[in-house]
Amino acid sequence: MIRIIRGSEPAKLVPLRIAKLAVLGSLGREPTSDEVVGYKEVATELWDAQHHKCCYCEQRIPKGFNDVEHYRPKCRADRRPGCAHTHGYWWLAFSWDNLLFACPACNRSGKNDLFPLIHGSISLLNPLLPPGNELPLLLDPGSAINPVEHIEYTESAIGRNGGPTHWWARPRNASIYGVKTIEVCELNRLELRELRNDHFRSTLAPQVEALNNSFRAHRLENTK
């Protein structure tokens, strides 16, 4: 997971939000997913802010996927284990601070409508703004908290008796936020482990070897 610096809200999002929320607010009921539309207008800005990477798994993705993700789900939210309420955050569907760009696997298969809260949390209701009395267990890539403080990547074998090694996402210092984020976003699914292995072999390993060679050359030079 990468930390997102979104930058300033795009000017076009403001009138869009005002118009869309006026329509949704007049329904007199919770809107459906098909009715909460238009937020993808800022897909390019989010894609650029994230350096063309998925906010959760860090894969580089083409803009054409156009998966604008809501940190707080727009129409239905599974808040377990902390809260049984399932209503969505439709009134935040056009809020710049709630929007992210994600790959289809993370957005549709992984996180989807999951938004786990800590026990005792009180879910936000329209028109309240975050954080209120909510205590999310899911890390927000766009917040002031750097995900690296809660998630690290370590190499280990798949089985107890050895065998092929993979790079796994692990909770740093047993962080409960790291545990839940890895689970919700499925950061250890096979395709991601294989991509990390490829990245290590093609990019990191040669850099480590070059650095070690430099250290060895330096030590030899100093022993002359």
Task: With respect to residue 6, please indicate whether it lies within any of the assigned structural domains.
Answer: no
Encode the chain (224 residues) as per-residue pLDDT tens digits. Answer: 888 899 999 999 999 999 999 999 999 999 999 999 999 999 999 999 999 999 998 888 888 866 899 999 999 999 999 999 999 999 999 999 999 999 888 887 778 899 999 998 999 999 999 999 999 999 999 999 999 999 999 988 776 666 778 889 999 999 999 999 999 999 999 989 898 888 778 877 678 777 777 777 777 777 76
Q: Has residue 204 been placed in a domain?
A: no
Q: What is the pLDDT of residue 124?
A: 96
Look at the chain and report how many structural domains it folds into: 1
Give the pLDDT of residue 224. Answer: 64
pLDDT for the residue numbered 134: 95
Structural domain includes residue 17? yes
On whether residue 96 sits in a domain, the answer given is yes
Domain assignment present for 27: yes
Query: Is 206 within the bounds of a domain?
Result: no
Q: Tell me how far apart the alpha carbons of residues 10 and 81 are, in angstroms, rounded to a whole number.
A: 35
Neighbour-count burial of 161, counting CB atoms closer than 10 A to its CB (0-12 exposed, 13-18 middle, 19+ buried): exposed
Stated pTM of the model: 0.87
Q: Which of 78, 101, 102 is nearest to 89 (CA)?
A: 78
Answer whether residue 4 is part of any domain.
no
User: What does the pLDDT read at residue 162?
Assistant: 65
Q: Which residues in 25-49 are b (16+ Cβ under 10 Å) and which e?
A: eeeeeebeeeebeebeebbebbbeb
Query: What range defines the domain where residue 166 resides?
Result: 13-188
Tokens of 124: 């936000």
The verdict on residue 212 lying in a domain is no
Are 132 and 75 contacting, i.e. CB atoms less than 8 angstroms apart?
no
Question: Could you give phi then psi for residue 171, rounded to 5 degrees?
Answer: -70, 125
